[in-house]
Copies of this chain bind each other. A is one copy, B any other.
Amino acid sequence: MHEIFSEPGRVQAILDFESALAVAQARTGVIPSGAAAIIARHASVDRFDLDMIRADAENAGNIAIPVVRELRRRVAGEDAAAADYVHWGATSQDAMDTGLVLQIRRGASSLGSDATQLCDSLFRLAERHAATPVLGRTWLQAAVPITFGLVVAGWLDGLERATDRLSRAAADASVVQLGGAAGSLSSLGEKGSAVTAALATELQLQVPAIPWHTQRDRITAMGASVAMLIAALAKMARDISLSMQTEIDELSEPVSPGRGTSSSMPHKHNPVACAVALAAGLRAPALVAVLFGAMPQEYQRGLGGWQAEWSTLPELFTIAADSMRHMSTAVGGLVVKAPRMRQNIEALQGLAMAEQATLALAPSLGRVLAHNVVEAASGKAVEQHRHLRDVLGADPEVTKHLSAAALDEAFALDASIKASERLVRRMLAERRAGV
C-alpha cells in the first residue's frame, strides 16, 4: 500500500493516464498514432527526477504540471512534433484524478483481498468456538454467558460488510476523469465523448455522465469505506485488548520474541497489534471528515478543497493497510484461553445463569413468579456471597418443582449457551451457502 500511494506511485499513475490518453486519442483520430506510441514509451516514472518535480510542483500548484512538462521534454528528445500531443486537450486535474482512481483501484483490491483472507480466518475461528462459553459483557460489566464464537461472528459480520462496502465504493469510483480546461471538453471539439469512451476502455474504467472535477462524492465515499474497514478492525482490537487484560486474560495476541514483551516486567504482554488498529480507529474519522469538508468546491475547479484530498485519501489507505496487517497477525495467531473464559463465568457464583434458572422454573411457577423468585434469590446470593444454585436449592418453593438434578441442569453452562451457538451456526451456514 505504501508503494501504491508513494510519490513514485502517484507519478506513475499520472503517467498511466497520459499514456492511455494518447493511445485513446490516436485510436479516435485526434492525434497521430506514431505520437501516441512515443508518448506511451516514455511514460514510466523510472526515468523521472522526483526531486525536481517536487520542487516545481511547489510553484506550479500541482504535481501534474511538472510531470507533464518532463514527459513532454522526454518525448521531444525523440520526436519534437510528438511532444505537442502530450496531455492533448486535458487539464492537470484530469491526469491527477484519473491517476488517483487508478491508485484507488489497486489499493482497494489489495485491501479487499487481505480483508477476505481475514474473514476466512474469522470464519474458522467462529466455527471452532461456536460453543465455547465466554462472558457476554455490556457497559464493561459481566452480563450473561454467550460463546466466543458469537463474539467472533460479530467481528466477521462487521468485517464482511466493510469489505463489501469497500469493493462497492471502489467500483463506483472507477470512473475516468476527462474534462479539459473547465469541464466541457471543448478542446476536443466533437470528439470529446469518443475520446472519453476510448480512454475508459483503455484503462478499464467507467465513463461518467459528465466530468466530475468538483463533484467529489465518489472520492469521499471511497475514503469513508476505507474508514469503515478501519473501524471494523478497531472494534476487533478493542475486544481483544480488553480480553487480554491481566485480570481477564481470556485472549492473547500471538507471543513471539521481541513482540510486546518487557524484560523488566516478565508478566506483561502488550497488545501491540491492537494498539496500531486502535490508533488507526482514532485517526480515520478525522481523515474522513477532511474529505467531507473538502466537498463544497468552487465552480469548475476547487481552491483548497481539491488540494486537501491529496494526502488524505492515501493516508487512509495506508493506515488501513497497517491496521489490516497487524490484525491479521493478531487473529491468525490468536491465543484463545477457553478454560479461563469458563473460570471467569464461574467466578460469578451462578448469577450469570439467573436467566436460565428463570426459564427452568417458568413451566411450573409461571414466567412472572419464576422471575420474581430468581430475582430475590439473586439478591440474597450477592449479599451472602453464596452460589445462586445453593440459594435456590434451599428454597422450598423451588425444590417443590425442581429436583436437584433439574436445578443442576439449569446451571449447566453448556445448556445456557445454546442460543449463542445456534446463532453462530446459522450465520456460518448462511455464509457457506453464500446467502
Q: Does A355 contact B (CB under 8 A)?
A: yes
Residues of the B chain whose Cβ atoms lie less than 8 Å from the Cβ of A275: 61, 139, 303-304, 307
Contact of A266 with B165 in the complex, beta carbons under 8 Å: no
Shortest Cβ distance from A136 into chain B, in angstroms? Answer: 3
Closest B residue to A304 by beta carbon equals B278
Q: Does A282 contact B (CB under 8 A)?
A: yes
Q: Does A224 contact B (CB under 8 A)?
A: yes
Closest B residue to A224 by beta carbon equals B224
Interface residues of A in 172-202 (CB under 8 A from B): 181-190, 192-193
Shortest Cβ distance from A9 into chain B, in angstroms? Answer: 19
Spot the interface stretch: A13-21, A44-52, A106-114, A229-237: A229-237
Closest B residue to A430 by beta carbon equals B209
| Residue of A56, A293, A348 ringed by the most chain B CB atoms within 10 A | A293
Contact of A244 with B141 in the complex, beta carbons under 8 Å: yes
| Residue of A183, A213, A242 ringed by the most chain B CB atoms within 10 A | A183
Contact of B162 with A217 in the complex, beta carbons under 8 Å: yes
Q: Within the assembled complex, what's the spacing in Å between the Cα atoms of A234 and B305?
A: 12
Shortest Cβ distance from A106 into chain B, in angstroms? Answer: 23
Contact of A274 with B247 in the complex, beta carbons under 8 Å: no
With A183-B154, A192-B422, A282-B305 given, is the CB distance from A246 to B296 under 8 Å? no
Q: Within the assembled complex, what's the spacing in Å between the Cα atoms of A288 and B289?
A: 7
The one of B84, B182, B217, B290 in contact with A138, judged by C-beta atoms closer than 8 angstroms, is B182
Spot the interface stretch: A97-105, A116-124, A367-375, A403-411: A367-375
For A, the interface residue count at a CB cutoff of 8 angstroms equals 145
Residues of the B chain whose Cβ atoms lie less than 8 Å from the Cβ of A1: none
Residues of the B chain whose Cβ atoms lie less than 8 Å from the Cβ of A7: none
Contact of B296 with A235 in the complex, beta carbons under 8 Å: yes
Q: Does A60 contact B (CB under 8 A)?
A: yes
With A184-B150, A210-B427, A270-B61 given, is the CB distance from A296 to B265 under 8 Å? no
Shortest Cβ distance from A326 into chain B, in angstroms? Answer: 8
Q: Does A402 contact B (CB under 8 A)?
A: no
Residues of the B chain whose Cβ atoms lie less than 8 Å from the Cβ of A423: 184-185, 192, 210-211
The one of B157, B211, B265, B296 in contact with A281, judged by C-beta atoms closer than 8 angstroms, is B296
Q: Does A137 contact B (CB under 8 A)?
A: yes
Q: Does A12 contact B (CB under 8 A)?
A: no
Contact of A279 with B265 in the complex, beta carbons under 8 Å: no
Interface residues of A in 55-114 (CB under 8 A from B): 56, 59-61, 81, 84, 91
Q: Which residues does A use to contact B, with CB under 8 Å?
A: 56, 59-61, 81, 84, 91, 135-144, 146-147, 150-151, 153-154, 157-158, 161-162, 165, 181-190, 192-193, 209-215, 217-218, 220-221, 224, 227-228, 231-232, 234-235, 237-239, 241-242, 244-248, 256, 258-260, 263-272, 274-279, 281-301, 303-305, 307-308, 310-312, 344, 347-348, 351-352, 354-356, 359, 367-368, 371, 375, 378-379, 381-382, 416-420, 422-424, 426-427, 430
